[in-house]
Amino acid sequence: MISPRQRRAKRTINIIKEFAMKHMKSPEIKLSSELNEKIWKRGIRSPPRRITVKMVKDEEGIVTISLPEEE
């Protein structure tokens, strides 16, 4: 879905959260600060085209989304 240039990074965050809610079956989603910084690195107008994330669900049902650790 295309969004206005001035809302692209915000829309990216919402798309990631919607994906996590659908697939992890949890209404409470948290993004790591590293992932947030990577999305906003080039400003609001040009977020990354593709990004790989790691989703972890804890005992309370809170899903944490972060960048995968490089091995």
pLDDT tens for the chain, residues 1 to 71: 678 989 999 999 999 999 999 999 999 999 999 999 999 999 999 999 999 999 999 999 999 999 998 75
pLDDT of residue 69: 86
CA angle (42, 6, 38) in 5-degree steps: 25
What per-residue confidence (pLDDT) applies to 2? 77
Q: In whole angstroms, how far apart are CA 37 and each of 9, 18, 40, 58?
A: 11, 19, 5, 23
Q: Which CATH number fits domain 5-66: 3.40.710.10, 3.10.440.10, 3.40.1210.10, 3.40.50.2300?
A: 3.10.440.10
CA distance 17 to 54: 12
What pTM did the predictor assign? Answer: 0.89
At 3 the pLDDT is 85
